[in-house]
Amino acid sequence: MAPQLDQCSLHPGTRAKRVWIAIAVLVVVVVLVLAALLARRASQRNSSDGDTALLLQITQYGNADGSARTDPIVRGAYLARAGDCVACHTAQSGKPFAGGLGLNTPFGVIMSSNITPDRQYGIGDWTAAQFLRALKEGVAPHGKLLYPAMPYNLYARVTDKDLLDIFAYLKTVPAVAEAPPKNRLPFPFNIRQLMFGWNLLFFDPSPFKPNPSQSIEWNRGAYLVDGLGHCTACHSGKNFLGGDTDYLQGYDLEGWHAPEITGNRYVGIGNWSEADVMAYLQTGGNRFSVAAGSMGEAVANSTQYLTAADLKSIAVYLRSLPGSKLAAPQSVASTERIMALGRDLYLNNCNACHKTNGEGVDAMVPSLVNNPGVQAPGANNVIRTILIGGRGAATASNPTSAQMPAFAWKLSDTDVAAIATYIRNSGGNAADAVDVKQVQALRAKLGADRPLEIR
């Protein structure tokens, strides 16, 4: 029998040849994939807006409001509010639009930029073309690649006309000669050139395409939600590289859970009427929930100023979305020990404001019953609010709002887990029990107080 040859018995020249062949094949594969991604990008960028007459109706939707006016500065001011530009581009106690707000991401802290008309530190020297390229392609002057914390991947849906009206408005705000602090990003995320690869993988520059089978109102809602409103930035899932997944089906960020905002009747807003959605966005609360945290800021800075027509269009669109398939599980039995403890603690600590039945006070104290944020996966919102409290959005119709005190100083991790479990499984609610380890982790992440020890 002829002797068998293994890899080690191959002549060195043969092994080297095979290595080079493998490298060549890998290079060819990479080149083909890169070519395919570039071709897809070109196709997306060159795609048509669809029915331009319909798109014009959508962007000019409404009567006697900021969207329909012809004055570009007045229109731009309204659209800048719809995009909530001031929220990200204004530091705490800082000057409007001067940047410097630290945006916490899983990859580090990105500092918002100065978008006042200052010629040195702001956008005073930018041309209209440079402004459009930054907002729709993520490329600032001199080829500087932007991070998608500035949601150019969503503003690509917005028409040039709308963005240029925002640009006209920003030219009128007071110039601020302040340079924002530098980003705090570790290696390799501080290498902006990596955004080229991210853009190839996750950035779709296609313009907004109206759906002719839907109403003008529905399309206007889609245009606002997917564009200036950039709702997916918080309410859509993210993969490990920060690309969007699970459209508007909820996402955890900064210790909050941005809930699902689709027609799902369990964890979404399927049980909310159009009037409920409009009230929430305009006043900061409705019979189900009260906006707090980042959403409270969005209501205070942005959505409360939208016209009734635009608010209704958003409601119509969101409620039409099928959303996730999450459904209520079997609720934790009231006879369970954790439920008994949770009930006692609830009656002693929460009953005065939220009522025994958990229904709260409309638009002031959120209902704990049938509230999508309460039954959401992970229970972050419930745990966080018990630990460090919260304040509802302050709006023109509700200038004082209501504030919930923190209980971290008083309640142990076991206590918080029990109350959260009870809230999530009483009054018709049904959700997974909250584990003590979840509370421990979030308490540590938030830097919340430890309960006082009585000696």
Take residue 237 and report the two structure tokens written for it: 């899932």
207, 47 in Cβ contact below 8 A? yes
**Is 5 within the bounds of a domain?**
no
Q: What pLDDT score was predicted for residue 10?
A: 57
Per residue in 236-248, pLDDT (tens digit) is 999 988 899 999 9
Whether residue 248 sits in one domain with residue 120: no
320, 348, 374 — which closes off a domain? 320
Residue 144, strand partner residues = 140
Backbone φ/ψ region at 345: left (φ over 0), alpha (ψ -120 to 50), beta: alpha
Whether residue 265 sits in one domain with residue 153: no
User: What's the gap between Cα 82 and its chain centre?
Assistant: 15
Counting the structural domains of the chain, the total is 3
Q: Domain of 342: which CATH number?
A: 1.10.760.10
What is the chain's length? 455
**Is 426 within the bounds of a domain?**
yes
Whether residue 171 sits in one domain with residue 74: yes
Whether residue 236 sits in one domain with residue 151: no
Q: What pLDDT score was predicted for residue 37?
A: 58
Per residue in 329-340, pLDDT (tens digit) is 999 999 999 999
What percentage of residues in the chain have a pLDDT greater than 70?
89
**Is 42 within the bounds of a domain?**
no
**Is 15 within the bounds of a domain?**
no
Residue in 374, 371, 401, 400 with CA at minimum distance from that of residue 386: 374
Backbone φ/ψ region at 278: left (φ over 0), alpha (ψ -120 to 50), beta: alpha
Whether residue 194 sits in one domain with residue 71: yes
How far apart CA 284 and CA 392 sit, in angstroms, is 7
**Is 282 within the bounds of a domain?**
yes
Q: What pLDDT score was predicted for residue 121?
A: 95
By three-state DSSP, how is residue 252 classified?
A: strand
Q: Alpha helices of 103-204 — where are they, by DSSP H?
A: 128-137, 152-155, 160-170, 194-202
Take residue 241 and report the two structure tokens written for it: 């590289």
> Which residues in the chain show pLDDT less than 70?
1-12, 19, 28-50, 62-69, 454-455
Whether residue 189 sits in one domain with residue 137: yes
- The contacts of residue 319 (CB under 8 Å, 6+ apart) are 263, 269, 270, 272, 274, 277
Angle between helices 160-170 and 128-137 (to 10 degrees): 120
Whether residue 361 sits in one domain with residue 255: no
Whether residue 304 sits in one domain with residue 381: no
Whether residue 388 sits in one domain with residue 411: yes
191, 171 in Cβ contact below 8 A? no
By three-state DSSP, how is residue 168 classified?
A: helix
Whether residue 344 sits in one domain with residue 307: no
Q: What pLDDT score was predicted for residue 5?
A: 47
Backbone φ/ψ region at 379: left (φ over 0), alpha (ψ -120 to 50), beta: left
Q: Is the dihedral of CA 138, 140, 146, 148 positive or negative?
A: negative
How far apart CA 348 and CA 389 sit, in angstroms, is 16
Burial of 448 (0-12, 13-18, 19+ CB in 10 A): buried
Q: What pLDDT score was predicted for residue 253?
A: 84
Residue 72's alpha-carbon distances to 128, 157, 250, in angstroms, are 13, 19, 35
By three-state DSSP, how is residue 404 classified?
A: strand
Take residue 223 and report the two structure tokens written for it: 């245009």
**Is 17 within the bounds of a domain?**
no
**Is 144 within the bounds of a domain?**
yes
State phi, psi for 285 to the nearest 5 degrees: -165, 160
Q: What pLDDT score was predicted for residue 47?
A: 57
DSSP labels for 270-285? Answer: TTS-HHHHHHHHHHSB
Whether residue 343 sits in one domain with residue 313: no
**Is 18 within the bounds of a domain?**
no
419, 342 in Cβ contact below 8 A? yes
175, 202, 229 — which closes off a domain? 202
168, 202, 236 — which closes off a domain? 202
Q: What pLDDT score was predicted for residue 32?
A: 61
For the entire predicted model, the pTM comes to 0.86
**One-letter amino acid identity for 414?**
T
Residue 177 sits in which domain range? 62-202
By three-state DSSP, how is residue 429 classified?
A: coil
Take residue 260 and report the two structure tokens written for it: 């699902």
Whether residue 162 sits in one domain with residue 66: yes
